[in-house]
Chain A
Amino acid sequence: MASRGVMNMGALASRANRMRTKLQSTLEASVLEIEDVSHQHSGHAAMRESEYSGGETHFNLKIVSPKFEGQTLVKRHRMVYDLLSDELQSGLHALSINAKTPQEVAPK
């Protein structure tokens, strides 16, 4: 159990960090939260395949970016997916994306 936890911590650092770098630089995000929720999906058929067994397959993202201004939800999600396409091809399985503009999160 302990050793697995350590391994996950290491893996988290890598993919989550790569994601953060990619999203931050292009989207100029004022908020960028990345949460690894892979453990919630460990029973998933795709997750039992050995190559993904190290976790880092499911993430929740919360991004606030001025680049989302005037974009539909589909377009905002596409922007994120495009930035993360390498990750999606290498075992990133699902993203839950909350994409807002600074205006949308501003207190009224």
Chain B
Amino acid sequence: MAAINAITPKIPLSIRLTTSKSLPTLSFLSLPNTSSFTASNFLSLKHSSSIATTAKLKPRSLSIVSALKKISELDSIALSPENDDSLTSDSGVYAVYNSDGELEFIGLSRNVAASVDSHRKKVPELCSSVKVGVVDDPTKESLTQAWKSWMEEHIAATGKIPPGNETGNTTWFRPPPKKKPDLRLTPGRHVQLTVPLEQLIDRLVKENKVVAFIKGSRNAPACGFSQKVVGILESQGVDYESVDVLDEEYNNGLRETLKSYSNWPTFPQVFAKGELVGGCDILTSMYENGELADLFK
């Protein structure tokens, strides 16, 4: 499990970047000696979660985030293979430091240990130690709020956004999933097919739950009707395959063969479970009357 993408909440522009009451910037961060880690980590984790619990009992601490410790109040936990089990798998926020004690990234996660572990596998050189703030009773809002408060604290203290949290930095997140590529029916027009094209179409529509034969690529449909169909499928969150019938190199002859296969003279054509659903008009009308959602269940 990777960190929940913490980029989404925008840091308010109103945060004061100049700070007179500036905290002693990161000077508290003395990395503990490796040999003494396990015990102290364990303690600091216990500590942070127990603080969170006791704080909730205080009448003035009504919100979850007010129970969250500041970054500056937390001890850092060194990361090494030996203390793998010492991080909490609870939800919370965490700050990752490099070997110079500089904050690289503030993340939030539903499983801090797993997120930190995935960072350490990806960029071990940037993951020297970590501070963890457990968020009790975590919701998306309380986690985001906790993350914001840490970001604000760090920005107030240093005037900088942690490098890993800067827009466009993908070191700490999985890049967003790429759109699927269009499927190709043949290895290329100059390769002799051993199976008739009709059979390839048949196999394709039967082996895939939803297939859209469109003009152009799914990322850039070359015809308004195909574009509309792609838009509908995307909006329904349908996991579909697409085939570009205009691709003369890899789908050579597909248009004519598909027309006769489906006995349907136009494109786009959408198949579900091996059956022709229809073209743009039918998809649109099924989308509008709600039948489409049932079909793709």
Contact = CB atoms under 8 A, between A and B. Distances in A.
B296 to A, nearest CB: 16
A99 to B, nearest CB: 8
Contact of B276 (A74, A85, A94, A96): A74
Interface of A: 44-45, 73-74, 77-78, 81, 85, 88, 93-98
B264 A81 contact: yes
Interface of B: 222-223, 225, 246, 263-266, 276-282, 285-286
B280 A78 contact: no
Given A45-B222, A45-B246, A73-B286, A78 B281 contact: no
A62 B236 CA distance: 27
A98 B285 CA distance: 9
Contacts of A85: 265
A45 B265 CA distance: 17
Q: Closest 5 interchain pairs by CB?
A: A88-B265, A73-B282, A74-B278, A81-B265, A97-B281
Contact of B280 (A74, A81, A96): A96
A98 B281 contact: yes
Nearest to A98: B281
Given A45-B246, A88-B265, A77 B282 contact: yes
B265, B280, B282 interface centre (most CB from chain A within 10 Å) = B265
A77 B266 CA distance: 11
B278 A94 contact: no
Given A74-B276, A74-B277, A81-B265, A44 B282 contact: no
Contacts of B280: 96
A95 B282 contact: no
A44 B281 contact: no
5 contacts: A74-B278, A77-B279, A78-B263, A81-B266, A85-B265
Given A74-B276, A77-B264, 17 more contacts: A45-B222, A73-B281, A73-B282, A73-B285, A74-B277, A74-B282, A77-B281, A78-B263, A81-B264, A81-B265, A81-B266, A88-B265, A94-B225, A94-B266, A96-B225, A97-B281, A98-B281
